[in-house]
Structures are given as C-alpha cells and as structure tokens.
C-alpha cells in the first residue's frame, strides 16, 4: 500500500475557460483561482491563447474600472482577437455570445497595423503605422456570467472577453476619431460619443499596446487589427437582440446576437 495519497491537482482556470470556449457552454461562475494581479491575469491569458491554438488576428483594448486605476497604475486592458468577420453592406452581421454567460456589443474604430511601432511620440504619430481604419463592433462575451465582478483580472485572463470583431466600412483618417457615434440596441439609443473622447483616444490605445509589446506582455504583428476601445459604452445584449451603430452621418453598421456554438481554431 502506498504510504501517502497523491494530492488532487490544483484548480486551473485555463482548463475550465478552454473547455467552455471550445464547447460553447457557459460556466456557473468564473473558475478559481481568479488571478489577483495584472501579471497573473496576462499569464493566464497567454496560456489560454496557446491552448486555443489559433493565430492572433488583433488586439482589443478595454478600460480598467476607475476605482482601480490609481492602485494598478494603468487605465486600459488588452485581449487577443481570434475571430474577424466582414460586415456585408446593410445585412446585419452575426455576433456570437455565450447563452448563460456575459454578452455585450461595443461600437469601436478598428485600426490595421502596417508595421509595429518602436514607440509613439504622441499626437497623430500613430497614423504612420496604420494602413486602414474601419467602423466596427467588438463582440464581448465570456462563458463566465460574473466575469465583470472580477474586473480587470477575470476580463484579461479570459482573452479580454473578446469573441470577435465585425468590420464595417472604411473611415477617413483625417476625421475618424471625431465622428459622432450612436449605438442602438433593439432600436433604442443606449450610448453616444466620439473616439477622441475616450481617455487619450485611439492613438492612446495603440500606444498602450505598443508599451505591452515592448515589455513582452503581448506580441504585435503587422496586419493585426486594433479594436481601439468602446466609444459609446459596453452594451449588454441577449441572443436574438440587434445592435446598430452610426458613425457620422453616412456609415451605418448592424449585427444580431446569436448563440455561441464553440470556438474552432
């Protein structure tokens, strides 16, 4: 008889999040142990990216809760984009969210990297590193219904709760950040704003990602998209719900929330 009983394996949030994302099934709660620092959260994120086995097509940028900004010394969070779809004219796109999990839509400007900056000096310096700008939606969904209760650590760990980008029409570089944006959910206006008014604007989001890249936290690559931050807010949506966003007077995009059926690398 053995003189000891092996200890059970320590709980691993990566295994639970991976299983949920591959199956499309929601969890009852965010899996323990929840990361307790930014470093721990990004370490879990990197492990989950590797386990999902798909190329990183871009990076989303989100905001840290105001009460934690001074404590953490950061204003933003980042997460990988593993899915991208093109919006087809006036036909609503499909936004996959976890039934029983957390699901939201965010109207954002999307920047495609021409090259990876060494560093940004401020102002519009970011424009030299971008070759295309689009209106779009970030689909923000997690299999953990309480993921926002663990912000920012749970959000970072669960790949920034990004569940894809929907790319709409091109925007002009000279005015994309100052366009008035309005978002509607099921026909009701839920938020308005301009990209330039979100912290220090889209170039600030790019600068944040460049800093993470330089520190080895993430890896930027040419051709990746940057989802530069929610312009009108983060708007919960249920399966079957519709979202629409107007960027200035001429650019309109729309999507319908559908049930996530499981990530396929």
How far apart CA 104 and CA 190 sit, in angstroms, is: 12
The total number of structural domains that make up the chain: 1
pLDDT in tens, 96-136: 999 999 999 999 999 999 999 877 666 557 788 999 999 99
Ramachandran angles phi, psi of 107, nearest 5°: -80, 125
CATH number of the domain within which 129 lies: 3.90.850.10
In a domain, 1, yes or no: no
In a domain, 140, yes or no: yes
In a domain, 3, yes or no: no
pLDDT at 3: 47
Sequence-distant (6+) residues with CB within 8 A of 124 are: 203
In a domain, 6, yes or no: no
Question: End-to-end CA distance of the chain, in Å?
Answer: 45
In a domain, 265, yes or no: no
Indicate the pLDDT class of residue 217, thresholds 50, 70 and 90: very high
Number of Cβ within 10 Å of residue 29's Cβ equals 14
For residue 32, pLDDT over 90 is answered with yes
DSSP 57: -
How far apart CA 93 and CA 258 sit, in angstroms, is: 10
**CA quadruple 30, 53, 105, 23: dihedral, nearest 10:** -60
Domain that holds residue 51: 13-259
Crossing angle (nearest 10°) for helices 13-23 and 38-52 = 40
In a domain, 75, yes or no: yes
Token digits of residue 214:
């330089």
How far apart CA 200 and CA 262 sit, in angstroms, is: 36
pLDDT at 121: 64
In a domain, 30, yes or no: yes
In a domain, 31, yes or no: yes
**What percentage of the chain carries pLDDT values higher than 90?**
89
pLDDT in tens, 243-253: 999 999 999 99
| Mean pLDDT confidence for 221-232 | 98
Residue closest to 137 by CA, chosen among 227, 202, 257, 224: 227
How far apart CA 218 and CA 109 sit, in angstroms, is: 20
| Mean pLDDT confidence for 211-230 | 97
């Amino acid at each position: 008889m053995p003189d000891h009983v092996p200890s059970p394996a320590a709980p691993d949030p990566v295994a639970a999040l991976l299983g949920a994302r591959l199956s499309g099934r929601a969890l009852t709660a965010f899996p323990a142990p929840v990361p307790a620092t930014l470093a721990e959260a990004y370490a879990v994120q990197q492990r989950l990216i590797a386990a999902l086995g798909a190329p990183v097509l871009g990076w989303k940028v989100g905001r840290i809760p105001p009460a934690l900004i001074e404590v953490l010394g950061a204003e933003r969070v980042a997460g990988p984009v593993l899915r991208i779809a093109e919006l087809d004219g006036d036909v609503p796109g499909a936004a996959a969210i976890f039934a029983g999990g957390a699901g939201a839509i965010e109207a954002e400007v999307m920047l495609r990297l021409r090259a990876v900056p060494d560093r940004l000096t401020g102002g519009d310096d970011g424009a030299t590193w971008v070759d295309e700008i689009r209106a779009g939606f970030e689909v923000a969904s997690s299999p953990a219904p309480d993921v926002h209760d663990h912000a920012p650590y749970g959000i970072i760990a669960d790949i920034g709760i990004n569940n894809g980008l929907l790319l709409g029409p091109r925007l002009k570089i000279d005015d994309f950040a100052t366009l008035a944006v309005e978002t509607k959910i099921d026909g009701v206006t839920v938020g308005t704003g301009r990209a330039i008014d979100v912290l220090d604007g889209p170039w600030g989001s790019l600068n944040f990602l460049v800093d993470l890249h330089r520190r080895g936290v993430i890896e930027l690559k040419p051709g990746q998209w940057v989802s530069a931050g929610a312009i009108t807010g983060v708007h919960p949506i249920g399966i079957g719900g519709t979202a629409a966003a107007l960027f200035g007077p001429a650019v309109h995009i729309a999507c319908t929330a559908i049930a996530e059926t499981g990530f396929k690398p």
